[in-house]
């Protein structure tokens, strides 16, 4: 299926076929990061960013994941501690914080990190290559019987993210 024609119907067919293996862990390993990390990028990313990253993700050359959950906030987006500060020149955000229980979080791909911006106080998605300086992903022992999925704890220390890699905040999703 050409990428421009891929939709929820195709995802459901793929998930149904993979589920025949009888392993939720297998399905999460193969589709979990892709299934929740890719949609925000495709739906809200700038065209140039999507055009640059999506072919490698769809070809399987890069993994993608979504990083919301934190050690102290869980998945409560309103209380995220991860923060992003705009640089004085306005070209980058510097992201700092921790994420935990992130599927594919240290597999050499791309992480969509949700963090609070100092610029407007809103939560935004920051598309971060895992090879970025200051990004550390440490493999965790799997929890909740999902032993087939790779889980990671992520530490972000002064990770520079170009402004073109920023997804809009949640309020923008309704617009």
Q: How does pLDDT run across 66-90, given as a tens digit for each residue? A: 999 999 888 888 889 999 999 999 9
Read off the tokens for 161.
Answer: 């993210």
Query: What is the rounded CA–CA span in Å between residue 168 and residue 156?
Result: 20
| Average pLDDT score over residue span 142-168 | 84
35 has a pLDDT exceeding 50: yes
93 has a pLDDT exceeding 90: yes
Q: Who wins on pLDDT, 2 or 156?
A: 156
pTM: predicted TM-score of the whole model, two decimal places:
0.83
Confidence tier at 58 by pLDDT (50, 70, 90): confident
Query: What is the rounded CA–CA span in Å between residue 6 and residue 62?
Result: 18
144 has a pLDDT exceeding 90: no
Q: Cβ(167)–Cβ(125) under 8 Å?
A: yes
Measure CA of the first residue to CA of the last residue in the chain; give whole Å.
29
The SS3 assignment for 119 reads coil
Across 34-43, 107-116, 118-127, 143-152, least confident range:
143-152
| Average pLDDT score over residue span 45-67 | 90
- Helices 33-44 and 47-58: angle between axes, nearest 10 degrees: 150
Confidence tier at 116 by pLDDT (50, 70, 90): very high
Q: Cβ(112)–Cβ(64) under 8 Å?
A: yes
């Amino acid at each position: 299926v050409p990428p421009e024609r891929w939709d929820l119907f195709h995802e459901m067919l793929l998930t149904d076929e993979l589920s025949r293996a009888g392993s939720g862990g297998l399905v999460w390993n193969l589709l979990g990061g892709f299934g929740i990390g890719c949609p925000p990028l495709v739906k809200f990313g700038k065209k140039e960013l999507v055009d640059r990253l999506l072919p490698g993700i769809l070809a399987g050359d890069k993994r993608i994941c979504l990083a919301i959950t934190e050690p102290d906030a869980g998945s409560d987006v309103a209380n995220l501690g991860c923060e992003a500060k705009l640089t004085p020149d306005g070209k980058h955000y510097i992201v700092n914080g921790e994420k935990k229980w992130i599927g594919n979080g240290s597999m050499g791909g791309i992480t969509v990190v949700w963090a609070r911006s100092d610029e407007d106080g809103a939560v935004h998605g920051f598309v971060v290559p895992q090879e970025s300086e200051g990004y550390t992903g440490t493999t965790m022992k799997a929890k909740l019987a999902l032993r087939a999925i790779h889980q990671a704890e992520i530490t972000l220390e002064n990770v520079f993210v170009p402004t073109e890699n920023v997804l809009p905040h949640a309020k923008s999703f309704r617009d």
